[in-house]
C-alpha cells in the first residue's frame, strides 16, 4: 500500500486544482450513501472512512454531496512540482506502509466500539475479519465467502441501511 502508492503518486505532477477539476462529473458514489449517513448520524453512530486513497480526493468527492464533514483516514497529500508526496498515518500519527485499515479497526475495538465494516476490495480483508459485522461486495465478498467468514452481501448502501434498521 504505502510504498507502492508513494511511488505511483510521485509520478503525478498536476496541482490540486487540476486534479480536482479532473474529478468533476467522473466519480459515481454508491447509491444510498447520503441516506445511510443520515440514518447513522440521527442515531449517533460514528461513521469513519478509512481508505487507501488520497484524503484530499475523498473530501472533494464528498463535498459534492455535502458529506465532507465525515471523519476520514487516508493518505495525506502534499503537492509539489516534483510530484505528489503521499503519506499514510496510523492512529498515533505513525507513518505506515501497510495495514492502515487493520490498525484503525483495532484502535476502535480497543476503545470499546462495536464495529460494522463496509468494504469491497482486497485491502479490506484483514480489517474485516476483526469487525463485529461485515457488509461486503466485490473482491472482499469473494474472499470472505472462500474463507467461510460471515458477512452480509450488498449491492447498494440502501441494502446496509435496511439491515441497520433491523438491528
- What do you get for the CA distance between the two ends of the chain, in Å? 34
* Cβ within 8 Å of residue 82, ≥6 positions away: 10, 13
| Residue 29 DSSP label | P
**Residue 85 backbone class (left: φ over 0; alpha: ψ -120 to 50; beta: rest):** beta
- Cell for 127? 480489517
Encode 146-162: b = buried (16+ Cβ within 10 Å), e = exposed.
Answer: eeeeebeebeebebbbe
Q: What are phi and psi of 56, to 5 degrees?
A: -60, -40
Q: Which fold has domain 2-166?
A: Rossmann fold (3.40.50)
Mean pLDDT of the chain: 94
Per-residue pLDDT at 31: 97
Domain ranges for the chain, please list them: 2-166
- Which pLDDT score, from 0 to 100, does residue 7 have? 86
Q: In whole angstroms, what is the distance from residue 164 CA to residue 167 CA?
A: 5
Question: Which pLDDT score is estimated for 45?
Answer: 96
Pairing of strands 133-136, 116-119: parallel
pTM of the model: 0.92
Contacts of 29 (CB under 8 A, 6+ apart): 61, 65
Taking only Cα atoms into account, the Rg of the chain, rounded to an integer number of angstroms, comes to: 16
Q: What is the pLDDT of residues 7-19, one digit of tens each?
A: 888 898 998 999 9
The residue with cell 486534479 is 19
Question: Could you read off the pLDDT of 26-60 as tens digits, one per residue?
Answer: 888 999 999 999 999 999 999 999 999 999 999 99
CA 98 to chain centre: 14
Residue 1: what pLDDT?
63
DSSP per-residue string spanning 101-119: HHHHHHHHHHTT---EEEE
Amino acid at each position: 500500500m504505502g510504498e507502492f502508492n508513494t511511488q505511483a503518486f510521485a509520478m503525478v505532477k498536476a496541482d490540486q486544482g487540476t486534479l480536482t477539476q479532473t474529478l468533476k462529473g467522473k466519480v459515481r458514489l454508491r447509491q444510498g450513501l447520503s441516506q445511510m449517513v443520515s440514518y447513522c448520524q440521527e442515531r449517533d453512530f460514528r461513521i469513519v472512512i478509512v481508505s487507501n486513497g488520497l484524503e484530499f480526493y475523498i473530501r472533494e468527492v464528498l463535498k459534492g454531496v455535502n458529506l465532507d464533514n465525515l471523519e476520514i483516514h487516508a493518505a495525506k497529500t502534499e503537492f509539489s512540482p516534483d510530484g505528489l508526496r503521499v503519506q499514510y498515518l496510523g492512529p498515533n500519527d505513525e507513518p505506515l506502509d501497510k495495514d492502515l485499515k487493520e490498525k484503525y479497526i483495532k484502535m476502535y475495538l480497543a476503545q470499546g466500539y462495536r464495529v460494522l465494516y463496509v468494504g469491497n476490495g482486497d485491502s479490506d480483508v484483514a480489517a474485516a475479519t476483526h469487525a463485529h459485522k461485515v457488509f461486503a461486495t466485490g473482491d472482499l465478498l469473494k474472499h470472505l465467502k472462500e474463507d467461510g467468514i460471515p458477512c452480509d452481501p450488498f449491492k447498494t448502501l440502501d441494502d446496509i441501511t435496511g439491515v441497520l434498521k433491523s438491528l
